Amino acid sequence: MTSRLTISEFARLVGLAPSALRFYDDCGLLPPASVDGSNGYRYYAPSQQPRARLLRDLREIDLPLAEVRLALDADPAELASLVRAHLRTVEAKTAAARAAAEHLLTHLTADHTRVVLGGPEFASAIRQVAPAAANPTSTWAASPAPGPASTASAETASPAPGSAPSAQPPRSSAASATTTSATSGIASSDAGSSGAASRVASSSGASTSTSSDAASASTAADPAMLAALDCVLVEVGADEVVFVATDRYRLAVRTVRPVEFGGAAGRVLVRADELAGLSRWAAAGEVVELEIRGEGAVIVRDGESREIALVDAEYPAYQGILDGLAPPVCRVVVDRAALRAALEGREVVAFDIGSGELRIDGGEPLEVIGSGAARLGFTASLLAAALDVSVGPDVLLEICSQDRPVVVRSADQGTFTTLVMPVRLDG
């Protein structure tokens, strides 16, 4: 191969237009090997091809020029870190654009959105998800689940006798333990005397240490976020309706397949206590119809309608948290009732999982089926609340690390998922 390539020859080899090569020369990113002083023609060396192809690839992912300049001279590890960070930014922007577009389409393409769900399935989703909201109604502890006379659903969770399904920390505790942001997820806190340090799980999956004072000030300064955390997010679409609630210590997600759907896909926020008040009423109907019109919504059952108020607030980007979960290093199935009973009367518990058993605080072993080993801690009330709304005799725990959310799934119901943040154990 010749030791000197014209700009057109070099452009064909590296997949860049000659005009792009001139631009990158002017920017100082890819100067030619030489320039003919008499006519200004640019000439490139074959050895410049790897840099040119890397430049092309970086621009194809829309990496800004300022970051391209750093990436071109970075070592492979630094380059990979830059690309991953850019990808997270692109995904966040895409998610925000999609949410904005869906919100706009809701108002432009239809007068209203209508979705029909099975009444028992709707009620079951409310009972499972709403207790994870930051300020759930006391109805969950006071009222038993509807019996066979009011619902035929086999998915209805039965709380352990004498237990309150929602026993998460009080609002003041949550506010002082974690920072608030539009994309924050669920938080882990130290188990110890001070409990001052905490970590916030963001939609990108990263963790950032914060102080309780800064977190408290941030939360107090964002009443819109506090209002959102009191709510259940309902995302409606032709293929599924998703119910989501979180207090940032626990995240609950339930998916229900609609019977009918019309209008544009969208999302609304409804106060968890308001939905709780509709649970028994909805369960008594074969189907319920949810109509979203402008700033309000109506639920219809057997010709009877109930209006529900919508909350105007931005909800945490929960999907990024789910997508950012690492593959589990420990995945076990355990008897739900036995695990729930072992948590009774405790505050913070230490789990040791391995060799086909789970020991809590070094006590009697519970038999588990699965793979992997792990040692981690939980706030007993948070894990108990997740178990109370699960379905079936067994529960599946998926653990990726000691400081990332633990997935709690009903072994008998793949459409319901709870994330519970573990706590750091002293020592």
Give pTM, 2 decimals: 0.61
Check whether 184 has a pLDDT greater than 50: no
Minimal CA–CA distance to 195: which of 229, 220, 169, 221? 169
The amino acid occupying position 118 is: G
Tell me what the mean pLDDT of segment 228-241 comes to: 93
Tell me what the mean pLDDT of segment 242-247 comes to: 94
| Topology of domain 5-73, CATH | Multidrug-efflux Transporter Regulator; Chain: A; Domain 2 (1.10.1660)
> What does the alpha-carbon distance between residue 136 and residue 157 come to, in Å, rounded to a whole number?
17
Q: Sign of the C-alpha dihedral, residues 191, 196, 197, 203?
A: positive
Q: What is the structure's pLDDT at 319?
A: 87
Mean pLDDT computed over every residue of the chain: 79
CATH 3.10.150.10 positions along the chain are: 111-309, 325-420
> What does the alpha-carbon distance between residue 313 and residue 410 come to, in Å, rounded to a whole number?
30
Q: Which of 184-188, 209-213, 240-244, 291-295 has the lowest mean pLDDT?
A: 209-213
Q: Where are the beta strands (DSSP E) in 100-189?
A: 113-118, 184-189
Burial profile 275-301: b = 16 or more Cβ within 10 angstroms, e = fewer: bbbbbbbbbbbebbbbbbeeeebebbb
Q: What is the structure's pLDDT at 172?
A: 31
Check whether 282 has a pLDDT greater than 90: yes
Q: Kindly report, residue by residue over 247-261, the tens digit of the pLDDT.
A: 888 999 999 999 999
In this structure, how many other beta carbons lie within 10 angstroms of the beta carbon of residue 311?
A: 17
Q: What is the structure's pLDDT at 427?
A: 57
Q: Please name the residue that has the structure tokens 């948590």.
A: 343
Check whether 340 has a pLDDT greater than 60: yes
In this structure, how many other beta carbons lie within 10 angstroms of the beta carbon of residue 173?
A: 16
Q: What is the structure's pLDDT at 174?
A: 30
Tell me what the mean pLDDT of segment 113-136 comes to: 90
Q: What is the structure's pLDDT at 402?
A: 86
Q: What is the structure's pLDDT at 107?
A: 65
CATH 1.10.1660.10 positions along the chain are: 5-73
Minimal CA–CA distance to 270: which of 99, 153, 110, 122? 122
Tell me the pLDDT band of 201, cut-offs 50, 70 and 90.
very low
**Could you tell me if 113 and 106 are in contact, meaning their C-beta atoms sit under 8 angstroms apart?**
yes
Q: Kindly report, residue by residue over 61-76, the tens digit of the pLDDT.
A: 999 998 999 999 999 9
Give the bridge partners for 396, in sequence order.
333, 409
Tell me the pLDDT band of 106, cut-offs 50, 70 and 90.
low
- % of the chain surpassing 70 pLDDT: 77
DSSP state of 221: T
Q: What is the structure's pLDDT at 108?
A: 67
**Could you tell me if 71 and 58 are in contact, meaning their C-beta atoms sit under 8 angstroms apart?**
yes
Q: What is the structure's pLDDT at 294?
A: 73
Superfamily of domain 111-309: DNA Polymerase III, subunit A, domain 2 (3.10.150.10)
Q: 3-state DSSP call for residue 81?
A: helix
Q: Which two tokens stand for residue 140?
A: 């969950």
| CATH class for the region spanning 325-420 | alpha beta
More confident residue, 220 or 336: 336
Q: Which of 47-56, 268-277, 385-394, 406-415 has the lowest mean pLDDT?
A: 406-415
**Could you tell me if 126 and 276 are in contact, meaning their C-beta atoms sit under 8 angstroms apart?**
yes
